[in-house]
Copies of this chain bind each other. A is one copy, B any other.
Amino acid sequence: MNKDNNIVCEVELIDEKKVKAVQKRLPDDSLITELSETFKNLSDFTRLKILLSLAEDELCVCDIAALTGVSVSAISHQLRLLKNNRLVSHRKEGKMVYYSLDDEHINKIVNEASKHCKEYAE
């Protein structure tokens, strides 16, 4: 803490001016946290495949399990995560529950990421 009772960085800086300029342009930590949590949803093979599938069509849990080759239980756990993060929504029809994509941004995000992947395929 300095004399004004502010927290000051005790790590040695090489270029303090540059660091402060960058810091000023960064989003709030809270937004960075939200962003990283959003990307976490896309960072698992199974979850990403679920999202890509739902981008094509609405599907029930059982069919998602078949598509991904993962147990129904595991899919249900993953769907709960995706639901909590507002990436999928669901609708009940009798015994069955149909899930669908709840965000038009997902496709755009995946498309941009695909460009990155393809750029470095050798």
Contacts and interface: CB of A to CB of B under 8 A. Distances in A.
Contacts of A19: 59, 63, 66-67
Interface string A50-94: 001100110110110111010010000000000000100000000
Counting from the closest, the 4 A-B pairs by CB-CB distance are: A39-B42, A40-B43, A39-B43, A43-B43
Given A32-B45, A39-B48, A86-B120, 20 more contacts: A11-B65, A14-B63, A15-B60, A18-B57, A19-B66, A25-B56, A26-B52, A32-B52, A34-B117, A35-B42, A36-B42, A38-B113, A38-B116, A39-B43, A39-B113, A86-B116, A103-B119, A105-B112, A105-B116, A109-B116
